[in-house]
C-alpha cells in the first residue's frame, strides 16, 4: 500500500516547481531596461517643461535641477531595492518586504494612480504636437481632448487583445529620441544660448516661495521611468547587476538632457510664452524659435512626429505597467482577483486594462472646459508617485534596520551608523524631501488633494473588504468538517 501512495507524495514535491512555467522569462539586457525607462523619461521631456513653467516661471531650470537631485537619491534607492528583490512590483514590492502587506498595497495603489495619470497626460500632449500638421489639434480644447480620449480607448482595445510594442521598438525609439534631443540641445546652445537673457528671465520672473516649491513638486513628473525599470526586474537577465547599471545610465542621460533643454528653452522664449502658448508642446516651441530657417524647417515636423510617437509609446507603456502591477498585487493577494484576471483567449489582464483605461479617460474630461487641467494632472501624478517614492525610501531604511544580514548585491554608500545598523543618507534625505514636497501639494492643490485622497480612501476600503472576505473564507474552510 505505501508504494501506491509514493507517486502522490512525489507529486506534492514537484507541484510547486511547475508554477515556474508562469514566471516571466529573464531575457532583457541593459539596453532594453534602459530604453524602457528612458521611454518614459524621454516622453516626459515633451511636456514637463510646460507644466513646471506654469507655476515656476523663470525658476523652471532651478526647479528641475532640485528635482533632479531628488531623482538621483530615488534612483539609487530603487537600485538597492530592485537588486535585493528582483521581482515585478517596484515600490510596492519593497514596501511589502519592509513593512508588510498593508504597506505594499498602499504603495502599489498610489503607484496605480501615477500610472493612470501618466496615461492621461501622455495622451493629452499628443494632439498639440500634431498641431503642426493640423492646427485645431493644438488650438481647440474640444478636438484635442476628444482625440486624447480616443487614443486611450484605442490603446485599451489593443492591450486587451494583446498587441504590445517589442523591446526592439523601445530601443530604436529611445535611441532616435536621445539623438534628436541631444541635437536640439547642441543646436540650441550654438544658435540661441544667451546667459544674460537666461539670467534676466530667472530674476525678472522669479516665483513666490510657494510656487517654487510647487514647481519642484511638479518637476518630479520629469523624472519618471524609475518604477518602469524596477517593474522589469523579473524579466531582466542578472537583474541584481543590470538594473542598477541601467538606472545609473539613466541618471546621467536624464540630467544632462533636461539641464540642456531647460536652459535652451529660456533662451528661445520668455517664461510667459513657455507657460502659455507652448505649455503643452514646449520642445516644439524651441524648434519654432530657431533663427535658421532651414534647421527650423527640418526639426519642426521631425519633433512633431517623434514627440507624438514617443508619447504614444509612453501611453501604451502606462497601460502595460498598470496591468503588470495589478497582476503582481493580485498574485500576492493584495487586490481582488478580478483585477488580475487573465482573458481566456487573449491571455491579458483585461479587467485591469479596461477599468484603469476608463479612469484615465475620466481624468481627461475636464480638458473640454477647464483651463488648469494640465497643471492639475501634473500635481495629481506627483501625489501618487511621491507617495510611492516615500514608501521606497522608508522600506530601504526599514530593511537596513530589521534585516541587516540580507544579501544586497547593490548597496548604497554614505551610511550613518546607528546602533550597529547602517542607514543610507541618500534614502533618509530622499524620504524627507519627498515627504515635504508631497505635503506641499496636498496643502496647496485642492484638486489633487481631494482626488488623490479619494483614490487612496477607495483603495483602502477595497483592501479591507477583500481581506475580510478572504479571512472569512479561510475560517469557513478550517471549520468545515473533513469528509470521512
For CA atoms 41, 43, 49, 52, the dihedral sign is: negative
What percentage of the chain has pLDDT greater than the value 90?
A: 24
CA distances (Å), 422 to each of 400, 410, 411, 413, in order?
7, 14, 10, 9
Q: Where is average pLDDT lowest: 77-81, 91-95, 135-139, 231-235? A: 231-235
Mean pLDDT in residue range 396-402:
93
14-18, 23-27, 231-235, 457-461: the lowest-pLDDT one:
14-18
Residue 424 reports pLDDT greater than 80: yes
Closest CA to 186 of 261, 281, 252, 255: 261
Whether residue 15 is predicted with pLDDT greater than 70 in this model: the reply is no
Length of the chain, please?
484
More confident residue, 319 or 456: 456
pLDDT grade, residue 16 (50/70/90)? very low
Place of cell 531596461: 33
Q: What is the CATH number of the domain that holds 389?
A: 1.20.1740.10
Whole-model pTM above 0.85? no
- pLDDT at residue 150 tops 80: yes
- Average pLDDT for residues 142-162, to the nearest whole number? 89
Of 80, 24, 68, 138, whose CA–CA distance to 393 is shortest? 80
Residue 478 pLDDT grade (very low, low, confident, very high; cuts 50, 70, 90) = low
Mean pLDDT for the stretch of residues 230-253: 78
Number of domains in the chain: 1
pLDDT category of residue 22 using cuts at 50, 70 and 90 = very low
Task: Please report whether residue 442 resides in a domain.
Answer: yes
Residue 227 belongs to domain spanning: 30-466
25 confidence band (pLDDT: 50, 70, 90): low
Q: CA-to-CA distance for 385 and 222, rounded, in angstroms?
A: 11
What is the separation of C-alpha 40 from the centre of its chain, rounded to a whole number of angstroms? Answer: 7
Q: Would you say residue 273 lies in a domain?
A: yes
25 within domain boundaries: no
Which of 124-128, 156-160, 402-406 has the weakest average pLDDT? Answer: 156-160
What pLDDT is recorded for position 357?
92
Q: Does any domain span residue 24?
A: no
| Rounded Cα gap, residues 244 and 411, in angstroms | 10
Longest Cα pair distance anywhere in the chain, in angstroms?
92
Count of alpha carbons within 13 angstroms of residue 273, beta-carbon side: 14
Cell numbers linked to 6? 509514493
Q: Residue range 298-312: average pLDDT? A: 87
Output DSSP code: residue 276: T
pLDDT at position 168, please? 55
Handedness of CA 363, 169, 45, 95 (dihedral sign): positive
Mean pLDDT of the chain: 83
For residue 405, is it within any domain? yes
Q: Within the chain, how many helices (H) and strands (E) appear?
A: 20, 2
| pLDDT, tens digit (0-9, with 9 covering 90-100), for 442-452 | 988 899 999 99
User: Contact at 8 Å (CB) between 348 and 323?
Assistant: yes
Whether 404 contacts 397, CB under 8 Å? no
Q: Indicate the DSSP class of residue 412.
A: -
- The verdict on residue 101 lying in a domain is yes
Q: Which pLDDT does position 400 carry in this prediction?
A: 93
The answer for 326, left when phi > 0, alpha when psi is -120 to 50, beta otherwise, is alpha
Q: For residue range 50-105, what is the model confidence (pLDDT) as tens digits?
A: 889 988 998 999 998 898 888 889 988 988 988 888 876 788 889 999 999 899 99
Tell me, rounded to whole angstroms, the distance of Cα 442 from its chain centroid. Answer: 19
Tell me, what's the pLDDT at 20? 40
Question: In sequence order, which residues have a C-beta less than 8 Å from that of residue 346 and are 6 or more positions away?
Answer: 160, 161, 162
- Which range among 78-82, 297-301, 395-399, 475-479 shows the weakest confidence by mean pLDDT? 475-479
Residue 162 predicted with pLDDT over 70: no
Asked if the structure places residue 19 within a domain, the reply is no
Predicted confidence at residue 26, as pLDDT, reads 60
Predicted confidence at residue 474, as pLDDT, reads 66
Cell of 25: 522569462
The answer to the question of residue 340 being in a domain is yes
Neighbours of 257 (CB within 10 A): 20
Amino acid at each position: 500500500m505505501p508504494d501506491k501512495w509514493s507517486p502522490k507524495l512525489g507529486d506534492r514535491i514537484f507541484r510547486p516547481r511547475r508554477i515556474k512555467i508562469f514566471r516571466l522569462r529573464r531575457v532583457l539586457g541593459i539596453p532594453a531596461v534602459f530604453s524602457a525607462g528612458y521611454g518614459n523619461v524621454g516622453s516626459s521631456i515633451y511636456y514637463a517643461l510646460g507644466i513646471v513653467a506654469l507655476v515656476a516661471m523663470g525658476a523652471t531650470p532651478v526647479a528641475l535641477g532640485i528635482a533632479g537631485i531628488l531623482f538621483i537619491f530615488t534612483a539609487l534607492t530603487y537600485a538597492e531595492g530592485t537588486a535585493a528583490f528582483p521581482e515585478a512590483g517596484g515600490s510596492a514590492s519593497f514596501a511589502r518586504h519592509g513593512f508588510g502587506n498593508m504597506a505594499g498595497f498602499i504603495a502599489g495603489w498610489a503607484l496605480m494612480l501615477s500610472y493612470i495619470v501618466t496615461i492621461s497626460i501622455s495622451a493629452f500632449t499628443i494632439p498639440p504636437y500634431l498641431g503642426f500638421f493640423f492646427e485645431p489639434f493644438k488650438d481647440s480644447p474640444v478636438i484635442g481632448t476628444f482625440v486624447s480620449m480616443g487614443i486611450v480607448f484605442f490603446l485599451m482595445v489593443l492591450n486587451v487583445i494583446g498587441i504590445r510594442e517589442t523591446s526592439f521598438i523601445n530601443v530604436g525609439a529611445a535611441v532616435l529620441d536621445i539623438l534628436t534631443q541631444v541635437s536640439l540641445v547642441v543646436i540650441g546652445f550654438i544658435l540661441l544660448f544667451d546667459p544674460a537673457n537666461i539670467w534676466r528671465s530667472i530674476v525678472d520672473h522669479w516665483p513666490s516661495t510657494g510656487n517654487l516649491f510647487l514647481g519642484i513638486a511638479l518637476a518630479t513628473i520629469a523624472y519618471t521611468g524609475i518604477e518602469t525599470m524596477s517593474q522589469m526586474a523579473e524579466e531582466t537577465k542578472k537583474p541584481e547587476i543590470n538594473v542598477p547599471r541601467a538606472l545609473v545610465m539613466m541618471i546621467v542621460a536624464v540630467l544632462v538632457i533636461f539641464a540642456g533643454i531647460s536652459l535652451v528653452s529660456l533662451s528661445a522664449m520668455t517664461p510667459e510664452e513657455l507657460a502659455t502658448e507652448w505649455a503643452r508642446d514646449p520642445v516644439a516651441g524651441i524648434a519654432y524659435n530657431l533663427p535658421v530657417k532651414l534647421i527650423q524647417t527640418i526639426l519642426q515636423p521631425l519633433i512633431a512626429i517623434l514627440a507624438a510617437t514617443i508619447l504614444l509609446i509612453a501611453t501604451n507603456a502606462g497601460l502595460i505597467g498598470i496591468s503588470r502591477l495589478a497582476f503582481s498585487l493580485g498574485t500576492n493577494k493584495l487586490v481582488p482577483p478580478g483585477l488580475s484576471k487573465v482573458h481566456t483567449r487573449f491571455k491579458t489582464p483585461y479587467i485591469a486594462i479596461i477599468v484603469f483605461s476608463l479612469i484615465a479617460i475620466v481624468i481627461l474630461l475636464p480638458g473640454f472646459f477647464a483651463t488648469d487641467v494640465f497643471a492639475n494632472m501634473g500635481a495629481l501624478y506627483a501625489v501618487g508617485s511621491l507617495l510611492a517614492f516615500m514608501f521606497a525610501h522608508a522600506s530601504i531604511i526599514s530593511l537596513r534596520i530589521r534585516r541587516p544580514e540580507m544579501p544586497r548585491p547593490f548597496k548604497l554608500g554614505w551610511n550613518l551608523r546607528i546602533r550597529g545598523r547602517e542607514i543610507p543618507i541618500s534614502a533618509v534625505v530622499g524620504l524627507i524631501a519627498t515627504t515635504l514636497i508631497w505635503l506641499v501639494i496636498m496643502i496647496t492643490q485642492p484638486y489633487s488633494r481631494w482626488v488623490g485622497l479619494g483614490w487612496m480612501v477607495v483603495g483602502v476600503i477595497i483592501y479591507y473588504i477583500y481581506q475580510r472576505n478572504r479571512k472569512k473564507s479561510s475560517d469557513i474552510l478550517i471549520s468545515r468538517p473533513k469528509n470521512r
